Each structure stands twice: as structure tokens, then as C-alpha cells.
Homo-oligomer: A and B are copies of this chain.
Amino acid sequence: MEARRPRIALKASLTNTAAKTARARPDASEGLIRGRFARARLPEVEAFTASLPFDRRLYRHDIRGSIAHARMLARTGLVRRAEAAKIVAGLRAVEREIDSGRFRFELADEDIHLAIERRLTERIGLDTVMPGYTHLQRAQPITLAHHLAAYVEMLSRDRERFAQALERTAVMPLGAGALAGTTLPIDREAVARELGFRRISENSLDAVSDRDFVVDFLAAAALSAVHLSRMAEEIILWSTAEFGFVALPDEFSTGSSMMPHKKNPDLLELIRGKSGRVIGDLVAMLTVLKGLPLAYNSDLQEDKERTFDALDTLKPALRLLTLLWPRLRFNAAAMRSAAGGFALATDLAEYLVRHGVAFRRAHEIVGNLVREASAAGRSLEDFTLADLRRHSTAFGRDALRGLSAEGSVRARNLRGGPAAAAMRRYLRRLERR
């Protein structure tokens, strides 16, 4: 996201500048627009319409845009070169001043990706067999590496979505004036080159009233937050006494001021809950835009607040999960012990299919086996060949061979499957992406 942030901020800053040309405080002391107005705005109005606290976050981008603008005006002769140089110097001084008082925290969203990939690589061996769940009921054995790869895929799509949102953001609106361009001979392409925009906007009305790029970002952020909520939910489940698959490190947990024995995963709960907030930001922005006539309207001022709120929610969540993943201690024994038993039923049915039994019939035979085992309090792994053959003579000597969580995983070696061999091929493709 590092490359992306400045671009979003720069576009927001310039779109904002366009907006400001359509709106200015009439009470500015220096007669700028005194002419039109007899009276100054109320302080309450001033406070409500101020976007200062949010604009302040854009100072670098504001300044960078202004410098490029001043230079272009000098080149076109609208401003004298000496004057432009003075303006640029002044802007740089302002930037240094603000810089000195600020802490910067940049996000690399690859981090979480990498953190999970690393654990996946460590866990590619068969010591980490675990149950795969559907409907939160144990379904079939998989491996922890296989499960982690599902997260890698989700996060890859998130990254792609952010990149596509960026493409629609890297379109320079400058030159749109208040809504209708300008009669002054400005050079839009030159400014765009200097600021690193990929394209310039094709319509000045659209340039000042479009907030698609904000919605694109918020939609990507909402889905990303939802992905993190799913990941958080699973770690919360795995860290319950009942599952016992993972132990949270102390430095990511919280105790209770009343109950001396508690150790709570509240960081993960917050990450899960805050997805609601980012969804709320997306809803807010879509609702703001609904039914709004062209071109600029001050309703659009909400754009930056929603963007920053989503970013400030998502960024630390990503950062903290990046720090958490390498510290999670998995309980391989607990996972393994939950992965066997009836979760092998499908393997038995597929054995029968490979030996010529129609799937429907195979399903029925194994269903009966499960019912019998369940009633007798036995596991499928306890069955002898004779037990199996009582239900179907299609069961041969090799039916019990490989009837284990490990065998089950090893046999599902197709692309996308959990076998270690399939996972290794996946990792190689991942490196080439």
C-alpha cells in the first residue's frame, strides 16, 4: 500500500482543491470575497463546515501539488519565474516545519501476506494435520498449511483490488477549475508528469464531482476488513478451551480485573468487530453520493473523513495480525486428534468408487458404517477389514491402508488440495506471481 497511499492522498488533495475553488469562506479577512457578502459566517457554521482536521493530513500532498502547479504556471508565463521560485521555496519551508512535528507510520500490506506465507512454509510437513470444517462440523482432514493458503488467496485478491482502485485514483483532476476548466493557458500534462499521475481526467464536471475512487477504496477496504474478521473469528475459536488448537501469546492477550484466571483474545475480537465500522464507512459514502446532482456539492466533503477512518481502522489491524502470526503457538497434537475418526468417511466412500461402486451406493454403505460405529461408540479407524466387508465386498485388503488423517491428506494431491506435494507446487507458483 506504500505506493498507493500517496496517490490516494494526492488525488484527494487535488480533488479537494477543485472543490475549494467552488467554495470559499466569505469572511476571509483579506477582502478575497468580501465583495459578494455583507456579513461574515457564524463561528458555528465555520466549525461545522471546516475540513481542516482532515485536510491537515494531506499537507505533503497539498504542498507537492502546489509546487507542481506553480512551476507549470511559470512555464506558461502566467506567473513570473522569480515569483514562482519564491512560492516554491515558501511551500518547502512550510512542509519542513510541519514535518518536524510529525510521526510517520507507513503501512506495508505485504507484511501480513508474508507473515502467513512464512508460517505456511514452516508447516508444510504432516505434523500439522487438522480437521477441515464445513458448517463448523468436522468434515475432512486437511493441514494447517492448506488452511493458511486459503488466507493467502484472500489477501492476494485484496491486494489486486487495492491496485485496481489505485489505477482509477491516479487520474489527475487539476485543470478542472471549479467545474468547467479555465480560459488560462495551463499545461495539464506537464503537471501530471511531475506529480506522477498516469492519466489526466477527460471531463472537468466529472473531475470535480466524481468520488468513485473513494468508493473503490472503501469497497476494497470493507472486503479486506471482512476477511480479517473471518481470520480473527477462527483464531478466537481455535484458542477456546474447547478447541485448544492455538495459544495466544501473553503480549496479545488481556486478563480480567474481576476474574483472576482469564486470558482473553480481545485484540482479535476488536479486529472482528471493527469490520462493521469499515462497512459503515462504505455505506456512508455511497449514501452521500446517492441522488447528488453535478457538479461539486459540499456533501462530498465527507469523502476524506470516511477514507481516513477506514484506513486508520484497517492499517493497525493488518499491522497487528502481522505481528501476531509468527507468535501463535499451535497445538499440533490437539489438531491431529480432532482430524481423524468420522472425518475419514469420505475417503472410504471414494475408495469404493475407485473400485467400481456407484457413488450413490458408496455413500449409503459408508453412511451405514458410520451409524453402526456411532452406536457402538467406535471410530472408523478401529474397524477391521471384516467389519468393512460385512457392509460391502468391494472393500479389499488395501482398504484400511492409508485410512488415517495423514493418509487422507496425502491422497488429495490435486491442484488446490492439501497434500504436501500439492502445497509445494502451490508455493512455487506463488513465488512466480
Contact = CB atoms under 8 A, between A and B. Distances in A.
B188 A415 contact: yes
Given A203-B150, A212-B154, A414-B188, A237 B42 contact: no
Given A230-B292, A297-B136, A342 B276 contact: no
A396 interface: no
Interface string A352-395: 01100000100110111111000000000000000000000000
Interface in A200-216: 200-210, 212, 215-216
Interface in A331-361: 338, 342-343, 345-351, 353-354, 360
Nearest to A407: B183
Given A153-B202, A416-B201, A36 B367 contact: yes
Contact of A206 (B20, B44, B153, B222): B153
A304 interface: no
B233 A370 contact: no
A34 B164 CA distance: 47
Given A32-B360, A132-B205, A180 B233 contact: no
Interface in A156-170: 157, 160-161, 164, 168
B133 A414 contact: no
B319 A44 contact: yes
B370 A260 contact: yes
Interface stretch (A8-16, A64-72, A90-98, A263-271): A263-271
B280 A33 contact: no
Interface string A22-36: 111110001111111
B140 A178 contact: yes
Q: By CB atoms of chain B within 10 A, which of A21, A25, A136, A267 has the most?
A: A136
B260 A366 contact: yes
A25 B255 CA distance: 6
B181 A414 contact: yes
A178 B259 CA distance: 8
A290 B150 contact: no
B212 A149 contact: no
A365 to B, nearest CB: 8
Interface stretch (A55-63, A110-118, A242-250): A242-250
A266 B298 contact: yes
A345 B259 contact: yes
Given A48-B270, A180-B417, A255-B25, A135 B298 contact: yes
Contact of A418 (B32, B180, B253, B293): B180
A47 interface: yes
A281 interface: yes
A258 interface: yes
A293 B426 contact: no
The 6 closest A-B pairs by CB, nearest first: A35-B367, A273-B299, A280-B284, A181-B417, A276-B287, A24-B257
Given A20-B257, A286-B287, 9 more contacts: A41-B252, A44-B323, A45-B252, A140-B179, A175-B415, A183-B412, A226-B290, A257-B363, A260-B370
6 contacts: A134-B256, A134-B296, A137-B240, A137-B241, A137-B264, A255-B367
